[in-house]
Amino acid sequence: MHVIVLGAGIAGSLIAQKLARKSSYQITLIDQAVGPATQTSDHQLALVHPQVNKKSTKLQRFTQIANRLVWQNFQSSIRYSGVYQPILKEDWINSEKLSELILTLGFNQSEIEPIESKIALEKFNIDQPGLWFNTAGIYDLKKLSTQAVETLTHHEMMWGEKVTRIQKNNNLWELFNDKNEKICTGDALVLACNYQTKELLATIDVELPLRPVRGQLSRFLIPKDSEVGKHLPWSAMRGDGYCSPSKEWDAETWLWEVGSSYDEDIDDLRPSKESANTNQKKGLALLGMVERPELSFREESNFVGIRSASKDRLPLIGPVTGQRGLFLATAYGSRGLIWATLGAELIHAYLDTFLAGADFLAAGFLTGAFAGEDLTALEAELSSAVSPSRFLAGALGARASNSKPTFPSGFKAR
């Protein structure tokens, strides 16, 4: 089966890499740029961690399993391993109670460890108690995408090809450029082109409720002998925002990276002072410090990118209702690597189903990565929670009334 993957950011690259491991697929990876990860995935400071709440939630379970997969598979592009999340002293319950809670949530002790403030000060230079996420980390998405694309040696790559229109013809998906030339034809098409997925779907009359969310990450230069300089962390941290550990810039200065702004419905890629100020505030809050006029950071540079997000902030991964052979892998929001990892597994499972001519997704696509664990219920939850049909079924119902609905987001246990 010839599968076209459109978009060589982290979403498309990991899908293409996953499919390429099977001889049943001939892949063509297409991107408008000259190489992988030149847009939002040109991001070298992507935090990955499991979500933790007091009660078990769907998101907690998805991020937990994805974090384990990322940790297992992507060590080669990790920049900082381990992440510290401070907890306000007034919200802190003792370490034993927290350890128990963490175990009841299904984490093991090697994944998350409660830390008292005295130890946090010694280990991370942070005088606040908190949680140490031992298997969380900060990853380089550009490196990861590039490595994934490098594995596609027996497959086709088309760089510098902007697709402006798609159509279905004789059961095949056809892609066209702005001169209306057909540039590629395949049995299945995976749209992994972030926010631009919306425009391409509009060319086949499918409306996708997708929003752009601009984000800016700031690289600050902080004098070592300043008040902030003395309190910078020695590990990556997260809270309302996240940061890298401080890194030596020169003899007098630290480099400190802090993110990120979350600017909904904005797609302007120019760095802004306002976003840098937001990041400064987030950085100080992580250190337990309050903003004051004299604590002004010097910007070294910024990374700005456009995320895409759905209405419920969960991604869109799976088949498009009524468009047999068309799949989406987008709306990854601020959890690019978490969803790209699960997205690669899910799209692979959907394509296997498609190839077999079956109607239902078979269980077992995650279990393979975690031998001995029964993840069937989680797989069913995941596929329906992220299925594009949650937004498309109703919208398409009337328009597609005389076309047979194919590929329901149904699910069948093996």
Ligand X SMILES: Cc1cc2nc3c(=O)[nH]c(=O)nc-3n(C[C@H](O)[C@H](O)[C@H](O)COP(=O)(O)OP(=O)(O)OC[C@H]3O[C@@H](n4cnc5c(N)ncnc54)[C@H](O)[C@@H]3O)c2cc1C
**Rule CB under 6 A: which residues touch ligand X?**
6-12, 30-33, 37-41, 43, 46-48, 141, 162-163, 192-194, 196, 200, 215-217, 259-260, 303, 305, 307, 330, 332, 334-338
Measured from the CB atom, the residue of 6 and 286 that comes closer to ligand X is 6
Instruction: Provide the 8-state DSSP code for 127.
Output: -
3-state secondary structure of 235: coil
Nearer to ligand X, 303 or 365 (CB): 303
346: part of which helix (H) or strand (E)? helix 336-355
Q: Partners of 211 in the beta sheet?
A: 309
Terminal CA-CA length for the chain: 23
Minimum distance of ligand X from residue 185's CB (angstroms): 16
Closest alpha carbon to 36 in 138, 137, 151: 151
Least separation in angstroms between CB 104 and ligand X: 27
Residue 364: CB atoms within 10 Å: 14
- CB neighbours of 213 closer than 8 A, spacing ≥ 6? 262, 263, 264, 265, 266, 306, 307, 308, 309, 333, 334
Q: Which two tokens stand for residue 350?
A: 């959907």
Pairing of strands 247-250, 253-259: antiparallel
The least CB distance from residue 159 to ligand X, in Å, is 9
Specify the residue, 305 or 319, whose C-beta has the smaller distance to ligand X: 305
**What's the chain's Rg over C-alpha atoms?**
22
State which residue, 10 or 344, has the beta carbon closest to ligand X.
Answer: 10
Structural tokens at position 377: 């219920």
Residue closer to ligand X (CB basis): 219 or 363: 219
Task: Give me the residue whose beta carbon is nearest to ligand X.
Answer: 9
User: How far is it, in rounded angstroms, from Cα 378 to Cα 367?
Assistant: 10
Kindly tell me which of 115 and 138 has the beta carbon lying closer to ligand X.
138
Task: Write down the least CB distance from residue 112 to ligand X, Å.
Answer: 18
Nearest distance from C-beta of residue 395 to ligand X, angstroms? 22
User: Shortest approach of ligand X to residue 166 CB, angstroms?
Assistant: 9
